Structure 1
Amino acid sequence: MNITFIGYGNVGAPLADHLQKLGHNVTLAARDTQSDAVQKVQARNAQIKAAPIEQAVREADIVFLATPYSANADIMAPLADALAGKIIVDCTNPVGAGLSHGLNSAQSGSEALQALAPRAKVVKAFTIYGFENFENNAYPAYNVKPVMMYCGDDAEAKQTVGGLIEQLGWQPLDVGGLVQALHLEHMTLLWVRMVRMNGANPNMVWAMITR
């Protein structure tokens, strides 16, 4: 599968690395394909390519968006045509002052993103945790996999993303339509407050246990 990353910092870089090692063709969308950020990822995994942003998006089956949320509008506007029909995996979270919801909980960041790219298929995933658990999500002392919740309005797109989640070692949990993204964003804020503010162990995940 051809997977492009827009944003490859603490969240995007480990996901790009792991997905390439699983056999996917991974490309970094870059204004400068020789930038320090690109070279840092390629030093970690030389099999990851870089290409100009629009080219990388047009050649992708799936686009991972892992930028700071505030950059989304500027990034998406010129890519509306290139993103038509593509799956966008939204890894971003709108964060406001004092670790509040950046859109005042009136709308999720994913719904705002869908409005920016109306012909794309947005799936919210790979949030609810800090970057530590994207580097390593193995918890061998427990007989459960950590859960990765995701949501979106397109069933086929969700099935594809759910498959990637499973390949990456998570227990995929489809929690419904894109309207649920707001709740996942609040789960991210909960995790961040617990870990970054209150000192909980960053190697902390949610699990799904059923009878």
Structure 2
Amino acid sequence: MKLAFIGIGNVGFAIANNLQKKGHDIIVASNSENSQSVQKALKENSNFLVMNIQSAIDEAEIVFLATPFQANESILKSVNFNDKILVDCTNPVGMGISHGLKSEISGSEKVQEWAPEANVVKAFTIYGFENFIDSNYPNYNVKPIMLIAGNNIEAKSLVQKINSDMGFDTLDTGNLDQALHLEHMTLLWVKIARRDGHHPNFVWAMLEK
């Protein structure tokens, strides 16, 4: 598939680089081709194509949003998604690694508000980028789980295929309001790994009887 990435920092690049190696075509969506993050990404993977943001959205089958959350509103309100799938990989993080929207609403619901014509799916937020570079845990007989949320079943089905390519099983947690709880899981992971010094190579898994 053709996949566009708005934001190509640690998280965006890790996902994009992994998926390019799995055979997907990657478009870096940027209105500043000479930006440091874009040039770094192209240096590390010359197979990426760069387009301005609207052109990348128009060309792609799925768009990934991997920007700092505070940049989302201005970016999303300046483009048109025309019913495209928008995978929200962002998190609103406030002071002291708190929820940046005071847990009153999820960041993904705000993303949907700012991009009303997109089919927003929350994914790729409950771990750090290290687990998007390599999701393989060979000492276990289960795959790590990727929890997703969204209002459109077809959109979530396509994101599940992306998850499989990334090495994850998928748990659909329900509608987009569930993204608030996924963002709290992100904060938990971040506090364990980034604040308290646990190594980042750990994930959640799902065991069922």
Aligned counterparts of 1:67 and 1:171: Cα–Cα separation in 2: 24
**What is the CA deviation profile of residues 51-79 of structure 1, one whole-angstrom value per residue up to 9, with x for unaligned ones?**
11111111111110000000000100111
Structure 2 length as normaliser, TM-score? 0.97
1:127-168 per-residue CA deviation (whole Å, 9 max, x = no partner) reads 111111111111101111111100100000000001100111
Q: How does 1:1-20 map to 2 (within 5 A)?
A: 1-20=1-20
State the identity as a percent. 53
Match of 2:176 in 1: 178
1:36-65 alpha-carbon deviations (Å, 9 max, x no partner): 322211222111110111111111111100
**RMSD, matched Cα:** 0.9
CA contact (8 A) 2:132 2:166 kept: no
Where do residues 1-211 of structure 1 align in structure 2 (5 Å cutoff)?
1-79=1-79, 81=80, 83-211=81-209
1:64-119 alpha-carbon deviations (Å, 9 max, x no partner): 0000000000100111x2x1210000000000111110000000000011011111
Q: Deviations over 1:4-28 (max 9, x none)?
A: 0000101000111111111111100
Q: Which residue identity does 2:143 align to in structure 1?
A: K
Give the total of aligned pairs: 209
SS in 1 for 2:8: coil
Which moves more between the two structures, 19-28 or 184-193? 19-28
Secondary structure of the corresponding residue to residue 98 of structure 1: coil
Report the CA distance between 1:35 and its aligned residue: 2.8
Q: 2 CA distance for matches of 1:12 and 1:31? A: 16
Q: Distance in 1 between matches of 2:78 and 2:41?
A: 25
Gapped regions of structure 1 (runs ≥ 5)? none
Unaligned runs of 5+ in 2: none
Runs of 4+ that moved beyond 6 A: none
Structure 1: how far apart are the matches of 2:192 and 2:30? 34
TM-score by length of 1: 0.96
